[in-house]
A = this chain, B = another copy of it.
Amino acid sequence: MFEQEYYEVRKKMLEKALDRYLTPKNVYPNELHEAMRYSIFSEGKRLRPFLMFAAFEMLKGKKSVKSLKNIVPAACAIEMVHTASLIHDDLPSIDNSDERRGKKSCHVKFGVPTALLAGDALLTKAFEVLTDVLPKFKAIECITAFTNSVSTRGMIAGQTVDITSTNKRINVNILKYIHLKKTGALLQLAMDIACIMSNADENVRATLGNFALNVGLAYQIIDDILDEIGGFEDLGKEPGQDLKNKKATYPGLIGLEKSKKEAEKLLNSAFKMIKGFPNNDVLLEFVQTIKDRLP
């Protein structure tokens, strides 16, 4: 998706930090550390940390791996929160997914109780890691941003509405809420952290926040579309899952053509939001990659 070397260098740095933060698996109790590491190191795309880096480097005005040092704890924390949510989402009582990224999901590998606790532990770990952010008053700002995006106003709210809406007739506004909260909230958080750590002003933070929400919603609409008409290749997973799981989708609720138009509109508006920033090339490329998935 991104220029290979640019991406690889940042990915390596992130994963080195994640490795350092996560207690080695041969520390008691073994199962817990092993389950946390298994899910964190499972070939994720590291999308949220990467967007955080890209926005931070855009705002700082230069691409420099070294400049990312102060933001790395927050990048690790966002990946931990995201992974915790995937572990809990996959549990039999929620999505009952046996696989994740081509591997057994955490509870299939370690059992439901350990997976549940590994999710709790990763969520807690995220806040531990955030206390490493320097200077300390920035750490508090970051923690506040995290709790806003994860809490009953954010990702967890989206997950709740998602599960309580399955098998029910919902309207497109509720589906939009689910996508914006379940996916958008953490993308917006990535922007929030980049803004906090680069001392961006409130206007910039609001603009980039909206940019992230637009992109997150568009991404999910396109996922809905590909689930209906795409192949395994396009979607990166087996299509037809939404129908099978009786989940509402954009094409199901407003039709295929209108869904495509909505996704396009959101992405065009996302382009416009960051057009004025110097050094916006990585974020622009990111939006383009998502647009390219549109069939």
| Residues of chain A having any CB pair with chain B under 8 Å | 23, 27-29, 31-33, 36, 84, 88, 91-94, 112-114, 116-117, 119-121, 123-125, 127-128, 130-131, 136-137, 139-140, 143-144, 146-148, 150-152, 156-157, 159-161, 163-164
Taking the closest CB of chain B, its distance from the CB of A167, in whole angstroms, is 12
Cα(A164)–Cα(B152), bound, Å: 31
User: Across the interface, which residues of B come within 8 angstroms of A146, CB to CB?
Assistant: 127
Q: Flag if A127 contacts B143 (CB, 8 Å).
A: yes
Which B residues lie within 8 Å of A112 (CB)? 93
Expressed in whole angstroms, the Cα–Cα distance for A116 and B115 within the complex equals 12
Residue of B with least CB distance to A136? B140
Q: Is B119's CB under 8 angstroms from A131's CB?
A: no
Question: Can you identify 18 A-B contacts, CB atoms within 8 angstroms?
Answer: A29-B152, A29-B160, A31-B160, A36-B152, A91-B116, A93-B113, A113-B163, A114-B164, A117-B156, A121-B152, A123-B123, A123-B124, A124-B147, A125-B147, A127-B127, A131-B143, A139-B140, A143-B143
A253–chain B nearest beta-carbon distance, Å: 19
Whether B136 pairs with A151 at a CB distance below 8 angstroms is no
Q: Which residues of B contact A147 (CB under 8 A)?
A: 124-125, 127-128, 131
Q: Do B136 and A150 touch across chains, with their CB atoms under 8 A apart?
A: no
Asked if residues A116 and B116 are in contact (CB atoms below 8 Å), the reply is yes
Q: Which of B31, B92, B156 contacts A120 (CB 8 A)?
A: B156
Closest to A91 in B: B116
Asked whether, in the complex, the Cβ of A94 is within 8 Å of the Cβ of B116, the reply is yes
Is the CB–CB distance between B88 and A120 below 8 Å?
yes
A147, A152, A156 — which one has the most chain B CB atoms within 10 A of its CB? A152
CB distance from A234 to the nearest CB of B (A): 29
How far apart sit A136 and B156, CA to CA, in the bound complex (Å)? 26
Residues of B within 8 A of A163 (CB): 113-114, 117
